[in-house]
Amino acid sequence: MNTRKAYRWLLWVPFVWQAALAPWSNGVQWRPLGLPFPMAWQMAGILVTTAVLWCVYRFDQAAAANDSAGNNASSSTGSSTGSSAGAATGDTAP
């Protein structure tokens, strides 16, 4: 396993929050802001999920930047051919 992608285990946090801990939240009698606790738990889960996805996105961006910096240093030319470059620009050969 690529150790640089180990942060993707964070994506399990929302799943565990919703699937594994929802039965526990049903038994709590506390009513924050007058809401039933399971409803408040789900609303907090939305915020936790958003934060986790943002963190993973930022880690992915940093990993991609490091990969592209490493690739630029190791290779001096791209691997595109003339025919694919022409197809990309819309040019056709006579």
Mean residue pLDDT of the chain comes to 81
Query: How far is 39 from 87, CA to CA, in rounded Å?
Result: 54
Angstrom distance (rounded) from CA 45 to CA 24: 14
Cβ 3 vs Cβ 63: under 8 Å: no
The per-residue pLDDT for 67 is: 81
Tell me the per-residue pLDDT of 72-82, one tens digit each, with 9 for 90 and over: 665 555 555 55
Contact yes or no for 22/30 (Cβ under 8 A)? no
Q: How confident is the model at residue 6 (pLDDT cuts 50, 70, 90)?
A: confident
Check whether 13 has a pLDDT greater than 60. Answer: yes
For the chain, give every domain's residue range.
8-15+35-62
Q: Calculate mean pLDDT across residues 16-38.
A: 93
What 27-36 contacts at long range (C-beta under 8 Å, 24+ apart), as own/partner pairs, is: none
Give pLDDT, residue 28.
92
Average pLDDT rounded to a whole number, residues 17-26: 91
pLDDT reported for residue 68: 83
pLDDT surpassing 90 at residue 71? no
Q: Phi and psi of 51, rounded to 5°? A: -65, -40
pTM of the model: 0.65
**Rounded Cα–Cα distance for residues 61 and 65 (Å):** 6
